[in-house]
Amino acid sequence: MTAHVLMLSSSRQGDETYLEHARALIFAHLGEIRDLLFVPYAAVTQTYDSYVDAVATALPECKVTGLHSVEDPVAAVNNAKKNGQAIVVGGGNTFHLLSTLYANALIVPIKHAIADCTPYIGWSAGSNICGQSIRTTNDMPIIEPPSFDALDIVPFQLNPHYTDYQPPGHNGETRDQRLAEFTTLNPTTPVVAIREGTALRLTNNQLSLVGEKDGFIFLGEEKTPISSGDDLTYLLDSGE
């Protein structure tokens, strides 16, 4: 597989405006491409049209076409590379995103497009679906997709928006405890936790963490820190 994938943890960092922190990473990933086929299916409380408008406003250099607005979404995905487009999948609710992808028979076409080196950019939910499954999303399961199986572009789990902050007086489980629940039941499956403002970049069969903050790999009972610029290519063999 020759994938060219940027998996952003979030659309915002701190008080910055929408996609501001990600612009440099996005344009470096796109190269000369400025035509985006945008998948807005993670949106629930806003319309798909307004979501497309938000992305177009944040990336005015680009032409942004909502996948929901085309007559044949499968054909649009299949022809994205030929049409000089990158596939971009925004954040929101991961369960709603995956359910809608299944409903529109888009899982396999997107996987094939990525395998054929169609550039892919996702953030939050759009990154979460790049893993084996969505079982380590932070989102509420507001809808039940046919399966939790995702695109499986990388053979591990992702946890975007990772934080180890525990609010004073809060007695609910921490993120680490939630991820430990997963790794207890799935001790051989890594979970890569990435903080807001960072991303995983997969290109030329090389995987790395990019951004200014560290992340972590949860595997079994171990929590291993990873740093920006670290070569994580060995994780591409974790599913074998």
* Contacts with 134 (C-beta within 8 Å, 6 or more apart), sequence order: 94, 95, 98, 128, 145, 148, 150
**Is 161 in the active site?**
yes
CA dist 105 and 110 (Å) reads 10
CB 152 within 8 A of CB 111: yes
| Max Cα distance, the chain (Å) | 54
Q: Which of 10, 11, 99, 124 is catalytic?
A: 124
* Contacts with 107 (C-beta within 8 Å, 6 or more apart), sequence order: 101, 151
**Is 208 in the active site?**
no
Q: Which of 4, 21, 96, 161 is catalytic?
A: 161
At 78, give phi and psi (nearest 5°).
Answer: -60, -30
**Is 49 in the active site?**
no
Q: Which of 29, 68, 139, 238 is catalytic?
A: 139
CB 94 within 8 A of CB 42: yes
CB 174 within 8 A of CB 216: no
Active site residues: 124, 139, 161
